[in-house]
């Protein structure tokens, strides 16, 4: 409510407050009664500060519409499951496409969770830092809060996929439970993207600046995912920078990509069946022979053998490598966020 | 002679013409003429002539980086084509940025010379010729020139530390400098004073006079070359220990809107009150402060639902919760009407009467001036450095400046281009003499 020169506009409770402030005899503080609240070496520790900020964040989850990311995750997961979920973990192509789409959903969710979380209250953070707030406590609170958010989103994605009959990986590599392995991978992708967005938010002066950088990063994440787009060999090293690359690799590895049939060559052959050479249709003849002898699956598996990708090797070592890369990048982003935010006092007034 | 060499010499010739043109423009703008022959320095000085120093700084930094990349690219082996490509992309991006910033600088130059904006096309396409015309023709005269101050006309300095006669805040600031674009800039200097406990002090000063710098230096947030003592304890040396003895309330109400008043204050108490204090004492303190600041009725409301006055009181209460000895407020009355502002200042008076030191920055102090004990007047001298023009009782300030209100005092020390009387140096000198007389 704005206040202007017209005193009639002042709300009643404000006037009551001022009146109380200035007339209440209890307000005349007797110096003898003043508590010595500031002896030396006071100030609460980092853990205590972290707990305070964590409390604030969960309250803001309710009041600041941060909860909105949860239904949004369900909607996006539903769309992706509907569009590309049919052949996930059933064929090579379906697995690659579906895993890529799932990795993108996770990156999208992670980005949206925290891209504005620091920059929208940057001035407040600066004030609190001046009053003794530790940046490490503040970032640690964000890390815990965002981890909970990411976990909830992953659970939502998995439930939505299950309800829409999207096939889940049947085998596990690290834990005894395939769903747990799958969930950990999805969580690590989301959390890695989340911490990258938190880092962007830590140095962006405004929400507009952060939201401008976000699509740019999203393009990099999608383009440099490694396996989905064919990149020149010179660009290959850059794929190591993205969460999508390691997420996609982990998902395909757990889905045992290299043991799945390949259908794209069969489909291409079917499209070319009417090609005539010297009055004959050789492709049609071959396809007819394969179908007649019930060899289609054998054909698809044979073509798949020639298109296996060593990076999608179904092994515990491969899976752990992908997870470690994701954890490593998450740690780098967190560290960078802390370092950048430590310079918040240098912000122009 | 092959074609690239011819192009090179033609480009060099144009650059020479451009430098000669700027040489004359610099003379007109009171800038050292020879700087027009040094690349990057020339463009920065053009921005000074154009009154667009900020754009000039960005241009110079970006152009410098672009040149470094260009040079570096020559030494990269051909087989590292990826690196070369990346650097080329960055180089192109930087080149576009420099062009944009140069256009901004040139538009400023056109404005200073009072010409039509269409001249920008001449600068873009016929740079050397246009600069030569502007430099050589007497018809092109700038409306303002770069001010360079001679050391002989600088305002007097007191230059010696004072001592504290009793408990309170002792301020001895020699100077506060920052390095801005390879140059040392003095923001404030030569400020010496002692504020006793129980005093409420008004901090007065025009825009850029160094009020915030002064406050930051006094509270230890931005350290100056100074000795600041609160109750005989060095704030700079013991900053972390006595951080909570100092409360600073910023001008904006920087509070999260989506939390309740009570929880906001309770979190502040948890953050600011020592860990040894029991939760019962903290709760009692929160309750007391809510009462004192008239916020009990709205304690369960969200902060974003509060009125401006309530939010301001909450912002103050958040700092007051730790019972600070030194309480600094940056324009607590901004955006508040007379009645609400008065209530707030009366509350601050009571805090001072509790034996605290309250320093308040305000641009409209006359409506509550009787509540203040002293006034600090900061003024921007000829070198744009914040100086102390007065510290003492309010009534004596009127006498010293020969004015009847704080607003008039402010006008007298403000610079002429800000609509003031431009007497800053005069009063800084007069106050320095007075100080010398008092201290001996």
CA B329, B267, B355: angle at the middle one, nearest 5?
A: 40
Backbone angles phi, psi at B253, to 5 degrees: -85, 90
pLDDT score recorded for residue B207: 87
CA B288, B306, A62: angle at the middle one, nearest 5?
A: 95
Q: Is B197 on the interface with A (CB under 8 A)?
A: no
Q: Is the pLDDT of residue B274 over 70?
A: yes
Q: Is B294 on the interface with A (CB under 8 A)?
A: yes
Which of B208, B256, B263, B327 would best serve as a mutation to test chain A binding (most A beta carbons within 10 A)?
B256
pLDDT score recorded for residue B390: 95
In the 8-state DSSP scheme, what is residue A344?
A: G
- A130/A208 Cα distance (integer angstroms): 25
Nearest by CB to residue B272, choosing from A29, A131, A235, is A131
Q: Is the pLDDT of residue A283 over 50?
A: yes
Q: Is A5's CB within 8 Å of B338's CB?
A: yes
Q: Is the pLDDT of residue A8 over 70?
A: no
Q: Is A38's CB within 8 Å of B256's CB?
A: no
Q: Is the pLDDT of residue A33 over 50?
A: no
Tell me how close the Cα of B435 comes to any Cα of chain A, in angstroms. 32
Q: Is the pLDDT of residue A45 over 70?
A: yes
Q: Is the pLDDT of residue A14 over 50?
A: no
Q: Is B322's CB within 8 Å of A35's CB?
A: no
Inter-residue contact B226 to B207 (CB < 8 Å): no
Nearest residue to B50 via CA among B140, B124, B153, B142:
B142
- Mean pLDDT estimate for chain B: 90
Nearest residue to A254 via CA among A312, A330, A337, A210:
A312
Domain chopping of chain A, boundaries: 46-259+312-346, 263-306
The alpha carbon dihedral of A329, A330, A336, A339 has a sign of negative
Helix (H) / strand (E) element for B191: namely strand B183-196
pLDDT score recorded for residue A101: 93
Nearest residue to A247 via CA among A202, A194, A307, A210:
A194
Task: Taking residues B220-229, report their average pLDDT.
Answer: 92
Q: Is the pLDDT of residue B85 over 60?
A: yes
Query: Strand, helix or coil at B204?
Result: strand
Confidence category of residue B194, pLDDT binned at 50, 70, 90: very high
Inter-residue contact A173 to A317 (CB < 8 Å): no
Q: Provide the number of CB pairs (under 8 Å) joining chain A to chain B.
A: 163
Q: Is B433 on the interface with A (CB under 8 A)?
A: no
Q: Is A21's CB within 8 Å of B294's CB?
A: yes
Residue with tokens 């609240």: A37
The pLDDT tens digits for B124-161 are 999 899 999 999 999 999 998 887 766 656 778 888 88
Instruction: Residue window 91-130, chain A: list those with CB within 8 Å of chain B.
Output: 121, 123-124, 126-128, 130
Cα Rg of chain B (Å, integer): 28
- CA A5 to each of CA B126, B305, B337, B347, B366: distance values in angstroms, whole numbers, following the listed order: 56, 21, 5, 20, 16
Top-confidence range, A209-213, B70-74, B252-256: A209-213
- How is B323-367 classified by DSSP, letter by letter? --SEEEEESTTTT--HHHHHHHHHHHHHHHHTT-EEEEE-S--GG
Residue that wins the pLDDT comparison between B416 and B296: B296
Query: Strand, helix or coil at A251?
Result: helix
Tokens of A345: 């006092």
Task: Taking residues A68-88, report their average pLDDT.
Answer: 90
Residue with tokens 């054909």: A299
The pLDDT tens digits for B283-309 are 999 999 999 899 999 999 999 999 888
Nearest by CB to residue B256, choosing from A5, A31, A56, is A56
The alpha carbon dihedral of B158, B162, B168, B171 has a sign of positive
Q: Is the pLDDT of residue B336 over 60?
A: yes
* Beta bridge mates, B234: B229
Residue B98, burial from CB neighbour count under 10 angstroms (0-12, 13-18, 19+): buried
SS3 content of chain A, % helix, strand, coil (to 5): 70, 0, 30
Nearest by CB to residue A133, choosing from B271, B295, B350, is B271
Nearest residue to A347 via CA among A180, A118, A143:
A118
pLDDT score recorded for residue B389: 95
The pLDDT tens digits for B341-375 are 898 999 999 999 999 999 999 988 999 999 999 99
pLDDT score recorded for residue A28: 42
CATH assignment of B159-439, given 3.40.630.40, 3.40.50.300, 3.40.50.2300, 1.10.287.3510? 3.40.50.300
Work out whether strand B374-380 and strand B200-205 pair parallel, antiparallel, or are unpaired. Answer: parallel
Residue with tokens 């122009």: A348
For the entire predicted model, the pTM comes to 0.80
Inter-residue contact A255 to A97 (CB < 8 Å): no
Confidence category of residue B326, pLDDT binned at 50, 70, 90: very high
Q: Is B271's CB within 8 Å of A5's CB?
A: no
Query: Strand, helix or coil at B113?
Result: coil
Confidence category of residue A257, pLDDT binned at 50, 70, 90: very high
Instruction: Measure CA of the first residue to CA of the last residue in chain A; give whole Å.
Output: 25
Inter-residue contact B82 to B67 (CB < 8 Å): no
Lowest mean pLDDT among A220-234, B17-31, B282-296: A220-234
Confidence category of residue A42, pLDDT binned at 50, 70, 90: low
Q: Is the pLDDT of residue A27 over 60?
A: no
Contacts of A124 in chain B (CB under 8 A): 254-256
pLDDT score recorded for residue A10: 38
Share of chain B above pLDDT 70, in %: 98
Give A158-165 contacts, CB < 8 A, sequence gap 24+.
Answer: A158/A182, A158/A183, A158/A186, A160/A74, A160/A77, A160/A78, A160/A81, A161/A77, A161/A81, A161/A85, A164/A78, A164/A81, A164/A82, A164/A85, A165/A85
- A54/A143 Cα distance (integer angstroms): 9
Domain chopping of chain B, boundaries: 3-136, 159-439
Confidence category of residue A85, pLDDT binned at 50, 70, 90: confident
Contacts of A2 in chain B (CB under 8 A): 308, 335
By C-alpha distance, the chain A residue nearest B352 is: A29
Share of chain A above pLDDT 70, in %: 87
- Mean pLDDT estimate for chain A: 86
Q: Is B252 on the interface with A (CB under 8 A)?
A: yes
pLDDT score recorded for residue B9: 87
Strands, sheet with B225-230, edge to edge from the N-terminal-most edge strand? B233-234, B225-230, B168-180, B183-196, B386-393, B374-380, B200-205, B357-361, B326-330, B246-249
pLDDT score recorded for residue B38: 93
Q: Is A44's CB within 8 Å of B271's CB?
A: yes
Q: Is the pLDDT of residue B82 over 90?
A: no
Tell me how close the Cα of A160 comes to any Cα of chain B, in angstroms. 31
Q: Is B266 on the interface with A (CB under 8 A)?
A: no
pLDDT score recorded for residue A230: 81
- CA A213 to each of CA A65, A110, B98: distance values in angstroms, whole numbers, following the listed order: 22, 14, 21
In the 8-state DSSP scheme, what is residue B388?
A: E
Work out whether strand B183-196 and strand B168-180 pair parallel, antiparallel, or are unpaired. Answer: antiparallel
Work out whether strand B386-393 and strand B246-249 pair parallel, antiparallel, or are unpaired. Answer: unpaired
Q: Is the pLDDT of residue A2 over 80?
A: no
Q: Is the pLDDT of residue B1 over 60?
A: no
Phi-psi region of A127 (alpha: psi -120 to 50; beta: other; left: phi over 0): alpha
Q: Is B243's CB within 8 Å of A131's CB?
A: yes
Q: Is the pLDDT of residue A39 over 80?
A: no
pLDDT score recorded for residue B335: 78
Tokens of A241: 């920078």
Contacts of A216 in chain B (CB under 8 A): none
Residue that wins the pLDDT comparison between A337 and B6: A337
Residue that wins the pLDDT comparison between B105 and B271: B105
Contacts of A37 in chain B (CB under 8 A): 244, 273-274, 277, 285, 322-323
What's the complex ipTM? 0.76
The pLDDT tens digits for A302-331 are 988 888 899 999 999 999 999 999 999 999
Contacts of B255 in chain A (CB under 8 A): 124
Q: Is A4's CB within 8 Å of B267's CB?
A: no
pLDDT score recorded for residue A194: 97
Work out whether strand B225-230 and strand B168-180 pair parallel, antiparallel, or are unpaired. Answer: antiparallel
Which of B244, B268, B281, B349 would best serve as a mutation to test chain A binding (most A beta carbons within 10 A)?
B244
Residue A185 contacts by C-beta under 8 Å, 6 or more apart in sequence? A247, A250, A251, A254, A319, A322, A323
In the 8-state DSSP scheme, what is residue B301?
A: S
Lowest mean pLDDT among A7-11, A19-23, A310-314, B251-255: A7-11
By C-alpha distance, the chain B residue nearest A11 is: B307
Lowest mean pLDDT among A276-280, B397-401, B416-420: B416-420
Residue that wins the pLDDT comparison between B439 and B256: B256
pLDDT score recorded for residue A43: 67
Task: Taking residues B203-214, report their average pLDDT.
Answer: 92
Backbone angles phi, psi at A338, to 5 degrees: -65, -45
- B50/B31 Cα distance (integer angstroms): 11
Q: Is B307's CB within 8 Å of A39's CB?
A: no
Q: Is B28 on the interface with A (CB under 8 A)?
A: no
Q: Is A234's CB within 8 Å of B350's CB?
A: no
């Amino acid at each position: 409510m704005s206040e202007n020169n017209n005193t009639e506009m002042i709300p009643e409770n404000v006037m009551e407050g001022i009146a109380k402030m200035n007339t209440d005899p209890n307000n005349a503080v007797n110096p003898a009664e003043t508590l010595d609240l500031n002896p030396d070496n006071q100030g609460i520790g980092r853990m205590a500060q972290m707990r305070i900020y964590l409390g604030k964040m969960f309250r803001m989850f309710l009041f600041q519409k941060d909860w909105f990311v949860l239904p949004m995750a369900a909607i996006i997961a539903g769309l992706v499951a509907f569009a590309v979920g049919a052949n996930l973990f059933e064929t090579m192509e379906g697995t690659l496409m579906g895993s890529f789409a799932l990795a993108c959903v996770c990156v999208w969710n992670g980005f949206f969770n925290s891209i504005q979380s620091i920059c929208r209250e940057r001035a407040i953070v600066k004030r609190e830092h001046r009053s003794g707030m530790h940046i490490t406590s503040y970032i640690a609170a964000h890390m815990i809060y965002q981890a909970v958010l990411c976990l909830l989103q992953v659970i939502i994605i998995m439930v939505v996929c299950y309800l829409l009959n999207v096939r889940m990986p049947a085998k596990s590599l690290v834990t005894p439970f395939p769903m747990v392995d799958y969930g950990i991978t999805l969580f690590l992708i989301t959390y890695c993207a989340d911490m990258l967005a938190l880092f962007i938010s830590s140095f962006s002066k405004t929400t507009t600046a952060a939201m401008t950088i976000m699509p740019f990063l999203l393009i990099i994440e999608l383009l440099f995912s490694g396996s989905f787009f064919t990149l020149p060999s010179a660009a290959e090293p850059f794929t190591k920078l993205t969460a999508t690359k390691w997420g996609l690799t982990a998902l395909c590895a757990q889905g045992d990509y290299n043991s799945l049939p390949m259908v794209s060559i069969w489909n291409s052959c079917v499209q070319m069946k009417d090609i005539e050479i010297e009055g004959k249709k050789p492709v049609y003849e071959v396809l007819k022979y394969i179908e007649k002898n019930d060899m289609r699956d054998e054909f698809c598996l044979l073509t798949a053998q020639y298109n296996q990708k060593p990076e999608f090797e179904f092994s515990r070592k491969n899976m752990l490598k992908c997870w470690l890369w994701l954890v490593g990048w998450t740690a780098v982003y967190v560290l960078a966020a802390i370092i950048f935010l430590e310079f918040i006092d240098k912000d122009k007034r | 002679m092959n074609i690239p060499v011819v192009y090179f010499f033609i480009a060099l010739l144009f650059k020479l013409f451009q430098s000669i043109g700027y040489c004359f423009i610099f003379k007109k703008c009171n800038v050292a003429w020879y700087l027009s022959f040094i690349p990057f320095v020339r463009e920065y000085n053009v921005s000074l002539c154009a009154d667009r120093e900020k754009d000039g700084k960005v241009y110079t930094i970006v152009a410098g980086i672009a040149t470094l990349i260009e040079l570096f690219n020559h030494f990269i082996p051909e087989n590292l084509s990826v690196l070369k490509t990346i650097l080329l992309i960055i180089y192109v991006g930087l080149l576009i940025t420099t062009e944009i910033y140069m256009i901004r600088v040139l538009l400023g130059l056109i404005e200073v010379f009072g010409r039509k904006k269409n001249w920008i096309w001449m600068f873009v396409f016929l740079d050397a010729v246009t600069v030569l015309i502007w430099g050589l023709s007497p018809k092109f005269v700038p409306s303002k020139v770069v001010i360079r101050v001679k050391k002989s006309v600088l305002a007097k300095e007191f230059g010696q530390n004072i001592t504290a006669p009793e408990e309170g805040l002792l301020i001895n600031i020699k100077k506060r400098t920052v390095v801005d674009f390879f140059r040392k800039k003095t923001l404030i200097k030569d400020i010496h004073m002692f504020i006793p406990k129980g005093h409420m002090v008004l901090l007065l000063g025009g825009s850029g006079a160094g009020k915030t710098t002064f406050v930051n230096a006094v509270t230890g947030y931005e350290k100056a070359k100074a000795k600041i003592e609160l109750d005989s304890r060095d704030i700079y040396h013991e900053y972390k220990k006595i951080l909570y003895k100092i409360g600073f309330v910023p001008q904006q109400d920087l509070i999260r809107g989506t939390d309740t008043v009570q929880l906001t204050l309770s979190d502040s108490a948890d953050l600011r009150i020592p860990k040894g204090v029991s939760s019962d004492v903290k709760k009692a303190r929160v309750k007391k402060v809510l009462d004192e600041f008239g916020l009990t009725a709205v304690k369960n409301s969200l902060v974003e639902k509060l009125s401006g006055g309530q939010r301001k009181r909450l912002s103050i209460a958040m700092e007051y919760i730790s019972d600070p000895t030194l309480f600094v407020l940056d324009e607590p009355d901004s955006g508040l009407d007379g009645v609400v502002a008065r209530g707030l200042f009366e509350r601050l008076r009571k805090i001072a009467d509790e034996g605290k030191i309250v320093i308040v920055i305000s641009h409209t102090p006359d409506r509550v001036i009787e509540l203040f004990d002293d006034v600090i007047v900061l003024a921007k001298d000829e070198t744009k450095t914040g100086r102390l023009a007065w510290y003492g009782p309010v009534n004596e300030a009127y006498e010293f400046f020969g004015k009847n209100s704080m607003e008039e005092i402010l006008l007298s020390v403000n610079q002429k281009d800000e609509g003031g009387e431009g007497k800053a140096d005069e009063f800084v000198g007069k106050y320095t003499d007075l100080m010398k007389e008092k201290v001996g």
